[in-house]
Chain A
Amino acid sequence: MNTSGWLQLAFFSIVLLALTRPMGLYLVQVLDVNGKTWLDPALKPVERLVCRAAGIDPAQEQDWKGYAVSLLIFSLVTMLLTYFILRLQYFLPLNPQGLSGVAGDLSFNTAASFTTNTDWQNYAGESTLSYLSQMVGLAFHNFISAAAGIAVAAALVRGIARDKAATVGNFWCDLTRICLYLLLPICLVFAVFLVSQGIIQNFSAYQSARVVEPYTAQVPKKDASGNVVHDAKGKPVIKEIKVETQTIPQGPVASQVAIKLLGTNGGGFFNANAAHPFENPTPLSNFFQMLAIFVIPAGLTYYLGRMVKNQKHGWSVWAAMFFLFLVGVLICWEAESHGNPRLAALGVDQSMGNMEGKEVRFGAFNSALFATITTAASCGAVNSMLDSFTPLGGLVPMFNIQLGEVVFGGAGAGLYGMLVFVVLAIFLAGLMVGRTPEYLGKKIESFDIQVAALAILVPIVFLLGFTALAAATPWGVKALGNAGPHGFSEILYAFTSCFGNNGSAFAGLAGNTFWYNLTLGLMVLIGRFLVIVPVLALAGSLAAKKTVPVSAGSFPVSGVTFALLLVGTILIVGALTFFPAISLGPIVEHFLMVNSNKLF
């Protein structure tokens, strides 16, 4: 932990804090059908045209059921569209490499993953997907899935802010305005900036170049289906290959990178994601990519405060999120900067920290910071390989996701997830002091707690169930790249990542198998929609309630006490739910690393 790292962390935090208010104020206008933005002269005619063509009446609002049905049907249709694009990409244009159609199970997994803002990738983009698949099949989802998440958050905030209302907004109108006024303009500017930093944006065929120093590499042998071949002991069969030439992939990268970060999607154009020099070439691009991940989720907390006319509440939620983020960064950075004691004992220099799986240009600090941000915010882009982190360093990203992606969280998903915890925290506080729970003048009743509990618990049941199933079956274990607790961590991380719609991976798991494509595909759908449905039910329930004036007896929802209560509730739920599982993975691996010679 060095001075440079501390200064960068402080600078990042200050810039994030400074951007929260302007982004929040802009969101207030974007998420209001009558809102005014400085882009109106250019975009208002486009919005009107889209609404007229799609038959959207912005004045006609929906109740929570109508909102939910619109979102679900829209998601299903766009998911099937992506499925067919992937399956038929060989026959479609913009495929200069002549890549064949994607297999059915992988297409299902990928379509589900991008529909849900997860971007879990059981493939390498450069060797599997055409440019059309990347742009129309996937980048399109990066926009609309982020917009859908923000729309749900806005619906919940409206539910809290409104008094005896039957409606929570118009999904189609919200979706259109978020894409038009928020995501597209920022992405346009951001993509141009990324091009200035060296990220490519073209439709050229891949280039071939001779490497300066040919070398021999040892790689796992794969069968015709692309699966790693194992020997009788279950270890991967290794073969040697001589490498003399290198394929340099091309493509429309900058445009996809911009939205993958701003929309907290995370799906890389290349397999190495933000560690690839064409996706993240400079320290400046790295800084702005991290900032882009957090800026909308942070701004949404200000939007919350403004909408409920209690700005201190918005800042308290921001502070709770920032506290959890800061603790995560410091633990991860500390673990990575100390390096691996077993490698140090072998004489490997650990003065720069644990550099396995990290880019030298980013180092231990920027790798730890990026990993914490990307997993706190449901993004999933990575600039280092999480599988190579120390056990405790890898625990932080995993636990971030397991907390429910509420540490700033995904675009929209972070705020609505956090507000579910707010309702739960207020309910627990009410139980402790013997008062009727009340949130900003709305009484929290049985149904509200029911749906809040369902939103938190139902996906967790599937996450732990699928993890147990995979850990106990041959198909689950066969895909592992490592044995022991680290192998278990790979399985747990995969389902955790899909549960939280994060999409980052402990890369040791070869997930492109029928069963993993099926179970992880189902997990991303469950993690997204079985949360959104009860959240919208909560929005509808709160909207219908009468708002009573805040009095001396009302529970305070701002200040240090409230922020600590919120943090405590999140940590207790996360710890009680996941401590047994993470004990079997990263925690036992840490003790084995420190107290024995075992490495996994």
Chain B
Amino acid sequence: MDLLWIVMSVLFFVICLAYAGFLAKEGKIWKT
């Protein structure tokens, strides 16, 4: 079960990083 919680934690933060990347990309689109 430990693996489940660890993977879930890591996965959440990977999603957050992807979210930041998405917003960075959106920001550039709107600026141009």
Residues of A within 8 A of B (CB): 65, 68-69, 72-73, 75-76, 79-80, 83, 87, 104-105, 107-108, 111-112, 445-447, 450-451, 454, 522, 525, 529-530, 533-534, 536-537, 540-541, 544
Contact = CB atoms under 8 A, between A and B. Distances in A.
Contacts of B17: 69, 72
B20 A108 contact: no
Given A83-B6, A108-B9, A72 B20 contact: yes
A445 B30 contact: yes
Contacts of A533: 16, 19-20, 23
7 contacts: A65-B20, A68-B20, A447-B31, A450-B30, A454-B23, A525-B12, A529-B13
A450 B31 CA distance: 13
Nearest to B29: A447
A83 B9 CA distance: 10
B20 A69 contact: yes
A450 B26 contact: yes
Nearest to B27: A447
Interface in B1-32: 1-2, 4-6, 8-10, 12-13, 16-17, 19-21, 23-24, 26-27, 30-31
Given A69-B20, A72-B17, A530-B16, A537 B27 contact: yes
B16 to A, nearest CB: 5
B23 A446 contact: no
Contacts of A112: 9
B31 to A, nearest CB: 7
Most A-side CB within 10 Å, residue of B4, B5, B19, B31: B5
A83 B7 CA distance: 12
Nearest to A109: B5
Given A107-B5, A447-B27, A533-B16, 12 more contacts: A73-B13, A75-B13, A76-B9, A79-B9, A108-B5, A112-B9, A447-B26, A450-B26, A454-B23, A530-B19, A533-B20, A541-B27
A545 to B, nearest CB: 10
A513 to B, nearest CB: 14
Contact of A451 (B16, B21, B23): B23
Contacts of A529: 12-13, 16
A80 B20 contact: no
Contacts of A445: 30
A107 B27 CA distance: 37
B18 to A, nearest CB: 10
Contacts of A104: 1-2, 4-5
Nearest to A83: B5
A105 B5 contact: yes
A540 B27 contact: yes
B2 A76 contact: no
A73 B20 CA distance: 13
Given A83-B5, A104-B2, A541-B27, A522 B20 contact: no
Nearest to A517: B5
A521 to B, nearest CB: 8
Contact of A447 (B1, B12, B30): B30
A387 B29 CA distance: 48
B2 A87 contact: yes
Nearest to A514: B1
Nearest to A537: B23
A422 B21 CA distance: 25
Most B-side CB within 10 Å, residue of A76, A111, A451: A76
A451 B22 CA distance: 11
Most A-side CB within 10 Å, residue of B12, B16, B21, B26: B16
A80 B30 contact: no
A104 B1 CA distance: 7
A537 B9 CA distance: 23
Contacts of B10: 76
A76 B30 contact: no
Nearest to A522: B12
Contacts of A107: 5
A451 B13 CA distance: 19
A513 B16 CA distance: 26
Most A-side CB within 10 Å, residue of B10, B13, B31: B13
Most B-side CB within 10 Å, residue of A107, A111, A447: A447
Nearest to A108: B5
A156 to B, nearest CB: 14
Contact of A80 (B4, B6, B26): B6
A159 to B, nearest CB: 12
A522 B13 CA distance: 11
B23 A534 contact: yes
A534 B22 CA distance: 10
Nearest to A448: B30
Contacts of B16: 72, 529-530, 533
A326 B12 CA distance: 37
Nearest to B8: A108
